[in-house]
Copies of this chain bind each other. A is one copy, B any other.
Amino acid sequence: MMNQWIAAVDLGGTTSKIAFISKEGSIVHKWEIPTDNSDEGANITANIAASIDEKLKQLGVSKEVLLGIGMGAPGPVDYETGVILNAVNLGWKDNFPLKDSLEAATSLPAAVENDANCAALGEMWMGAGKGAKDLVCVTLGTGVGGGVIVNGRIVQGVNGAAGEIGHSTAVPFGGAPCNCGKTGCLETVASATGIVRLAIEEIKKDELQGELAKLFSVQQKITAKDVFDYAKTGDPIGQKVLNEVSFHLGLILANLANTLNPEIIVLGGGVSKAGSILLDSVNSYFAKFAFPAVKNSTKLALATLGNDAGVLGAGWLIKSKLPLND
């Protein structure tokens, strides 16, 4: 019998990743196309459909090979209706019927989900959480996203706002303003942007010295990667910021685990590339703040799929609808 694939899309504001994925979760082909935000996003799904058709033609494969198309999109998505509620960066008006548009453009059964939720599903299917049914994924990037999985399914919440772990309040009083309108969100202290802000504040206090402060005085800018790289070498400001970020993440994630006791909490996104120096430090606060029975059973781990988590999770949206033995 012919192999069958799932088409999967990780839709971004400037670039979209597209992949063909086997039913076993292998990425068979993947490529990228620019996202065309013009004309209120009118061309986005048509461009994806055309790119898929072209790829199939290049490969000399019939479209019948495709079982369906899954998509992760940046914004709140109503999973049941497939409507994306708000997607300013993509040009679409509020409440754009993304699933319907994708089905019309591709003639394939479609499923859509928020991109942070897709990353969680991807890590559950093929990544750090492989085999787990209760999993939380926190994506530490420019912002902080989250996906919560209970019994193999994304928790949506009554208003689709479950998983907003990045907007948990980490600094109850006097915290930095967040894009969401609140202050002191986890995103303000654990995103790449937030980490850089903490480091620059610390440098400007002029209490601690070191190489990171020197780098900043030369370049007038630093990155989150610089902060962790210098922390590894013992730089006092790097270490202080690492400790602060880890405290906030450890506390928020321990309290989340005290509530859900998931099998695994996966840390993904660019910031998680800091690796064991971050994981170990978060783990030490997590152990301090987690209920003993939770500490002994909920594991923290780094994401393993990198940028592929999104397309794999988008693929899972279709995979999970297939008959069990298919």
Which residues A271-302 have CB closer than 8 A to chain B?
A: 288-289, 291-294, 296-298
Does A104 make an interface contact (CB < 8 A)? no
Q: How many residues of A contact B (CB 8 A)?
A: 49
Total copies of this chain within the assembly: 2
Does A313 make an interface contact (CB < 8 A)? no
Q: Which residue of B lies closest to A285 (CB)?
A: B172
Does A76 make an interface contact (CB < 8 A)? yes
Cα distance, A263 to B90, chains bound together (Å): 30
Q: Which residue of B lies closest to A157 (CB)?
A: B261
Does A325 make an interface contact (CB < 8 A)? no
Which residues A124-142 have CB closer than 8 A to chain B?
A: 132, 134, 136
From B260, B288, B298, contact of A155 by CB (8 A): B260
Interface-located stretch among A4-12, A113-121, A188-196, A246-254? A246-254
Residues of B within 8 Å of A47, CB to CB, are none
Does A148 make an interface contact (CB < 8 A)? yes
**Complex contact B159–A294 (CB within 8 A):** yes
**Complex contact A289–B160 (CB within 8 A):** no
From B148, B172, B247, B292, contact of A260 by CB (8 A): B148
Does A218 make an interface contact (CB < 8 A)? no
| Residues A291 and B258 in contact in the complex (CB < 8 Å), given A158-B297, A159-B296, A247-B172 | no
Does A256 make an interface contact (CB < 8 A)? yes
Residues of B within 8 Å of A263, CB to CB, are 158
Chain B nearest CB from A75 CB (Å) reads 12
Could you show 19 A-B contacts with beta carbons less than 8 Å apart? A134-B155, A146-B259, A148-B259, A150-B151, A151-B153, A157-B262, A158-B261, A158-B263, A158-B297, A160-B261, A160-B293, A161-B297, A162-B261, A163-B259, A168-B259, A172-B289, A185-B291, A255-B255, A255-B256
